[in-house]
Amino acid sequence: MNAHAAEAAPQPEVGETAAVALDLYRRMLLIRRFEETIQSLFQKGEVHGTTHLYSGEEASAVGVCSVLEAQDRVAGTYRGHGHALALGVDPQGLLDELLGRATGVCGGRAGSMNVIDLEHRLIGCFGIIGGSIAAATGAALALQRVGGVAVAFFGDGTTNHGYFHECLNFAQVRKLPVVYVCENNLYGEFTPWEDVTAGQIRARPEAMEIPSVTIDGNDVWAVREATREAVEGARRGDGPSFVETLTYRFVGHSRSDPGAYRKPGELDAWRERDPLILARASLAERFGVEADAVAAVDTAVDEQLGQMVERGLAAPYPTPGIVREFKG
């Protein structure tokens, strides 16, 4: 890795099962295939506006969301398809939403960057840089009274915005039950993070005496265990925590970005640490899952995406002037 040192991945805790591990892999694969499908549909003119894909970062969202409970809430970013699917948002409904269809989770009116699904704990995906931090901090203020933990996903570039410093300071002063997850994919849009960020990102919350950890964001088990500890602390009333996941996006910032600014060999090096490759190895080495079981998951996910596209393209567009009610 060419960011900064991540702590070693812990071994799975007693009680973790092969079934749990296989489901985490399935969720990551679903996100990857979903994003590949969206990219293909976009190139065919079926997805309008812009798209910011989560390909390569799947272990971060899946690891974090795997330890959350029904009363918890999550705020995602404009790269939020992965956050939504990791939470269990209906893949068909999400695909339909991106296609602008009435059967989408927001009635076809949110598009790629602004999905909300309160039924699945997603309080929003935010196109405003730092919006997720403010939303999760506000949610934590409410959850402190009624129970639950809020999680904010955001990128490394967000840590240079006022939202970051103000919200983390407020959360620490009030001991709010919130976990701040910085997905450091090495770039703020097209700019290397180290070119615009002084020092180490983790040092900033540490200066506020917020418990902080930097981990391998491509290892779903490292993310899962670090987040479990942070969430448990929030539930105890210990206040906020900060988790930096070191990861990498395999695609450009958005639809118009070919990624020509990458350093020579950088993408190839990170592809060797593809979260799906690491997860498959973990399934075999830690849990003894047979290759046939993994292949069956691969086939099932591919078939699921093919059926989803057919249904999505056949779904109706919204009726002008009629807005579907959101489920609370």
Give CA–CA dist 145/122, Å, rounded.
Answer: 19
Which range, of 81-85, 96-100, 155-159, 167-171, averages the lowest pLDDT?
155-159
Res. 298: pLDDT tops 50: yes
Q: What is the mean pLDDT of residues 40-44?
A: 91
Give CA–CA dist 276/76, Å, rounded.
Answer: 22
Percent of all residues in the chain with a pLDDT value above 90, rounded to a whole number: 71
Give CA–CA dist 50/213, Å, rounded.
Answer: 33
- Give the mean pLDDT of the chain: 89
Give CA–CA dist 94/258, Å, rounded.
Answer: 25
pLDDT at 299: 98
Banded pLDDT at 325 (limits 50, 70, 90): low
Between 3.40.50.970, 3.50.50.60, 3.40.50.1820, 3.30.429.10, what CATH number should domain 34-314 receive?
3.40.50.970
Give CA–CA dist 251/166, Å, rounded.
Answer: 31
Res. 45: pLDDT tops 80: yes
Res. 15: pLDDT tops 60: no
45 Ramachandran zone, left/alpha/beta (phi>0; psi -120 to 50): left
Is the Cβ–Cβ distance between 52 and 33 less than 8 Å?
A: no
Determine the longest span between alpha carbons in the chain, in angstroms. 55
Give CA–CA dist 263/68, Å, rounded.
Answer: 36
* Confidence (pTM): 0.90
pLDDT at 127: 86
How many alpha carbons lie under 13 Å from residue 58 in its C-beta half-sphere?
Answer: 26
What residue spans define the domains of the chain?
34-314
pLDDT at 142: 97
pLDDT at 197: 75
pLDDT at 2: 45
pLDDT at 262: 75
Banded pLDDT at 95 (limits 50, 70, 90): very high
Between vectors from CA 51 to CA 71 and to CA 224, what angle results, nearest 5°?
35
pLDDT at 48: 87
pLDDT at 265: 85
Q: What is the mean pLDDT of residues 94-113?
A: 94
Res. 324: pLDDT tops 50: yes
Is the Cβ–Cβ distance between 41 and 105 less than 8 Å?
A: no
pLDDT at 322: 63
